[in-house]
Structure 1
């Protein structure tokens, strides 16, 4: 009996250490990738320098358009991408698209979306006073919901992302009257720019100049990131 108890304890300790190591490995690779690709920042900004941005107002998702409206909006977005010579890196529409698109901009791979979501949710938890006023529900319930994979990101999580990653987030949208939205960090000067497309309140993709468009290689992931 004593030997069995010891085995369970050792297994639990080993699992905990392994989990901690996974987190550290994930963070280390993400930092390396971020530094490696930071030099590409600014290319899309130069392309869209003549656009006047609309100030950003954080809010949660409330309206989802029907299929017909969404299709028309996407066509409008495609026309704008063509006008400005931009390329969309399409990410999966599995409820994680905002986090996938941000991951692609930061780490040049959408596969780090879980890490990005964790960082944003931690920002929401650590700086409640910055975001609570924009959330019309119990705040703890909100960030716990947002921690779940597949939960759609909103304009509050975009603001938290701008603050967490000290980045200006720029959205080229499908909206008829709002072509370009800027999300600025609230407390710091931005150190980089992240460019996303956003259509019909339903989907985000990652934006590049056509000449800088990635060739979509197999993501460089270690076995512990699967």
Structure 2
């Protein structure tokens, strides 16, 4: 994800204030956010891709960022796929937090809550080390400490942890040449919701909606545009 690594925030039309102080109790924040959750997936987006085979998901850290030419082709491929299936992206800010912002938008309809989402994923990684450490090719403690930092890119390990923490099936429409669609299922539980993200491979995540249903967001800074 070729993003700036500085912190930034995105304003939202959410009914919950997007300017919650960092020092506010996490339990209070979680209670407020839960009021906006869509806890039951309706499956409408899934029906559009029901004929596609998803590949088994293997958590992994980020791979090599493609060069400009490959990235351009990847972006065009992703755009064509989304158009084919009647899907559209809510453009998420490219500040290094895009995965967490996209997840926050899907969970709470507010990308500003990316800090809360990151905190919950870090809790999952810490409390269930044995589930994830085998996928991390470095000292696990170092990895978690790194991912904890705002602006640090999420990867497919953090996506698995998000699926587990939030009890969600995460559906990725990707720009991979050979893999259009990836489903990430929570371990040892049935999902209670579906989260839809686009993945411009190794570059950026956006939040996906049906065409015509993309909500209006007013970013304080420019989102990631190729």
User: What TM-score, normalized by structure 1, do the two folds share?
Assistant: 0.83
Per the TM alignment, residue 183 of structure 1 is displaced from its structure 2 partner at its CA by 0.6
Aligned counterparts, 1:41-80, within 5 A: 41-80=42-81
Separation in structure 2 between the aligned mates of residue 154 and residue 88 of structure 1, nearest angstrom: 19
Q: Which has the larger radius of gyration?
A: 1
Quick check: 2:40–2:192 contact (8 Å CA) kept in 1? no
Q: What residue is the counterpart of 1:160 in the other structure?
A: 161
Contact 2:39–2:192 under 8 Å retained in 1: no
RMSD of aligned Cα (Å): 1.9
Q: CA deviation at 1:162?
A: 0.5
For structure 1, list consecutive stretches of 5 or more residues without a partner in the other structure.
Answer: 1-17, 220-226
The 3-state SS of whatever aligns with 1:93 is: coil
Cα distance in 1 between the residues matched to 2:170 and 2:101: 14
CA distance in 1, matches of 2:212, 2:169: 22
Which structure: greater helix fraction? 1
Q: Does 1:32 align with 2:35?
A: yes
Give, in angstroms, the shift of residue 25 of structure 1: 3.1
| Structure 2 residue aligned with 1:222 | none
Deviation at 1:38, TM superposition (A): 3.8
Q: Aligned equivalents of 1:59 and 1:87: distance in 2?
A: 26
Q: Report which structure shows greater RCO (CA 8 Å, sep ≥6).
A: 2
Deviations 1:61-111 (A, max 9, x none): 131111221111000000001100101001011110000000010001111
2: CA distance, partners of 1:40 / 1:212: 16
CA distance in 1, matches of 2:159, 2:32: 23
Structure 1 residue runs of 4 or more that deviate by more than 2 Å after TM superposition: 18-25, 37-43, 215-219
Alignment of 1:105-144 (within 5 A): 105-144=106-145
Do the aligned partners of 2:40 and 2:193 also contact (CA within 8 Å) in 1? Answer: no
The 2-side partners of 1:218 and 1:94 are apart by: 12
Q: CA deviation at 1:216?
A: 2.8
CA–CA separation in structure 1 for the residues paired with 2:214 and 2:41 = 11
Q: Structure 1 residues 78, 104: CA separation in 2 closer, same or farther (over 3 Å shift)?
A: same
2:83 is aligned with 1:89:
no
CA deviation map 1:7-53 (0-9, x unaligned): xxxxxxxxxxx97644333212211111xx44664221122222111
